[in-house]
Structure 1
């Protein structure tokens, strides 16, 4: 099989890239290789469904730029394709004076990132938005919304199919060999020849990049995020999206409440080391992958830096009572019996050798390849813009 461009991974970023490429360059022969038997099987399919506004991200960063541009493209795409979505807004809630001080910095970032209509809320105004919330001050972010990213992915897949993109499932990449002005990609049972390679392999993107000779000096560490679900008769405790003030020293947003597009309400997630790259449960273990994570110097440094937070996150993973206590900071009425076990997702988080969890998106380029090696949240919101940017790079190189 010979192609002009081969994309590895059929999550939302890979699908967006295929969609954009097929639209901008219909003459190209494009293949997508996916190791599972369907699209959106991992990070995309376990996404909480939030359309992010871009309020948190450092102005000028790849996250900030891609999120704002991707947000507009996503809404446009959803409207055009009649994908059910809702711009419901969210509140970021401070529960003490220390958190109140941090709100100003978040607000300022939002303004610098082009957000309009941000509003500080006092205690009474918080109650007007979310009657059951407990907080001293907050910010209302009108741009935040909800969508089912699996539905977005299905539509991208359909559009790519219509444009002649060739999708191949159950094709796990075993080896990549540079050949003349391109590559030979082995999937075990067959070889794909391609002029250009796009790596959107998510949780395995670092391994694919290394097959192409990219010197990353970093490794993907899988962090599992576990959710509870409010029982249907308790979903009314939450109107829309309720977030805490994030800890600026920790790369995760903290447990929050998310109303999904189907009306269900998620509570979570925590953030614990997964025992394999696609380890969605505590019993899901791959000894080799687990040892790769915990023996990596960068991870050891991260673990030493965040050991208190990490220990608490692990404790909260095993203790529903501790999990509920965190949720009660935002909504005191929530009780243990109001929650049932929900889904879990695994975040592909790049960690460098110095012990830094790489905060921004990272896309590496070789002569005939583009590698999306770090694309955690808000990658789903940003996906259409990331696909557009990758398309530009591909067309400049071919």
Structure 2
């Protein structure tokens, strides 16, 4: 069977793109392929559930714009589909003089990004959050929380209602782009043909691009984000998400306290180099994944440039008291017994050949396909406008809606960088309790 659109990847970006295509091309033949037995199995289903505001990103960048638009769109989607969410706000807490300076710079960035932010002094911070200690903070009211797996289920229902098809246990084994269509081999199923292809494969992004005959100049390197859940005595004690002031010399944001939509509170993540792209156990090892990283020059340049923070993350991972010390900088009431280990998350980080972390969205284009090669945080928040953006990229080119365009022999590639619930409960992760209504009070 020939489809107008084939999408690979059942995470939130793939589903949002499928939904956007069907909104713009009602009646199109569309199929979503997901290799696992449920939707949102990896990054989407393992993230912290935060609806981000866009405060951190470069002013004027598409990443900042997509985040702001995505936060509004996500909340509107949740209201329309009766999905519980909460706009609880976030406090970015400064604990020393240097962090106060960085906080001031972040405040100026928030103004440029048109994100509503309020300065909070030490006394007001103590009144708002008695368990939190700091010299001051920024209050970002728009930040919220949601279960993104439930958002994905609602997106999947919309796709099916619009006539789209979603196939689980459909692992892609081959991709070939020819004159007028893309051929997709699927394990244990008939070969598919599609006029247009979108690949949103997360941790497998570089492999799917190579499978299609491209030569991406990056590799996906997995970073394990290790989390703890606070014990029951902490439930209800924090009204806001609590974040550190980011250190511009470090590649990731740092450990923070996150209220979950079920009422629990998580602490994390750190950022450990992973030995498996989809291995969530602490000692999970995948030799192919390790080999791909070790044979890539950019991996060694990344290690050399981040040796000190990497060793610090390793020590924090090995010794829980060191991890606790990071949290007690702004939450001194935490005790070691408060930290209950839960399942880690995996960040599929694109790394360039020069060792740089690619922090923005990265797309590779061919005449009939769009490969989403890097969709970093805040991809879940931004998924709806990202899906619209990808759909527009496809609809602006020849395809089933316009005269076809033959593929040239040299396979031109354009690289663009832009700043029914069947899901099993992940072991150790907080579950979702039924919550009536829409926005949680």
**TM-score scaled to structure 2, two decimals?**
0.88
| Cα separation, 2, equivalents of 1:47 and 1:272 | 15
CA contact (8 A) 1:2 1:194 kept: yes
CA contact (8 A) 1:227 1:268 kept: yes
CA contact (8 A) 2:255 2:268 kept: yes
| Cα separation, 2, equivalents of 1:328 and 1:238 | 14
Answer 1 or 2: which has greater helix percent.
Answer: 1
**Stretches of structure 2 lacking an aligned partner (at least 5 in a row):** 400-441
Please name the residue that 1:279 is paired with.
Answer: 279
Please name the residue that 2:183 is paired with.
Answer: 184
What secondary structure does 2:266 align onto? strand
- Deviation, 1:371, is 1.1
- Deviation, 1:239, is 2.2
Change (3 A) 1:215 1:60: farther
| Cα separation, 2, equivalents of 1:128 and 1:245 | 20
Deviation readout 1:348-396 (Å, 9 max, x if unpaired): 1110000100111112221111111111110000000000111111111
After alignment, is 10-19 or 279-288 more displaced?
A: 279-288
Deviation readout 1:284-341 (Å, 9 max, x if unpaired): 1111211221332111111111111101111211211111111101100101111111
Please name the residue that 1:128 is paired with.
Answer: 127
Indicate yes or no: 2:199 matched with 1:212. no
Please name the residue that 1:233 is paired with.
Answer: 233
- Deviation, 1:236, is 3.9
**Stretches of structure 1 lacking an aligned partner (at least 5 in a row):** none
Please name the residue that 1:195 is paired with.
Answer: 195
What secondary structure does 2:372 align onto? strand
| Cα separation, 2, equivalents of 1:12 and 1:315 | 33
Aligned CA RMSD, in angstroms, stands at 1.1
Please name the residue that 1:153 is paired with.
Answer: 152
Matches within 5 A, 1:63-102: 63-102=63-102
Please name the residue that 2:434 is paired with.
Answer: none
Change (3 A) 1:320 1:169: same
After alignment, is 208-217 or 125-134 more displaced?
A: 208-217
CA contact (8 A) 2:229 2:339 kept: yes
Please name the residue that 1:355 is paired with.
Answer: 355
CA contact (8 A) 2:349 2:376 kept: yes
Please name the residue that 1:137 is paired with.
Answer: 136
- Deviation, 1:194, is 0.8
Runs (4+) of structure 1 exceeding 4 A deviation are none
**TM-score scaled to structure 1, two decimals?**
0.97
- Deviation, 1:210, is 2.1
| Cα separation, 2, equivalents of 1:266 and 1:185 | 40
What secondary structure does 1:37 align onto? coil
CA contact (8 A) 1:214 1:366 kept: no
Deviation readout 1:237-276 (Å, 9 max, x if unpaired): 4222000011112221100000011100000100001111
| Cα separation, 2, equivalents of 1:41 and 1:175 | 22
Please name the residue that 2:437 is paired with.
Answer: none
Matches within 5 A, 1:1-398: 1-116=1-116, 118-189=117-188, 190-397=190-397, 398=399
What secondary structure does 2:40 align onto? coil
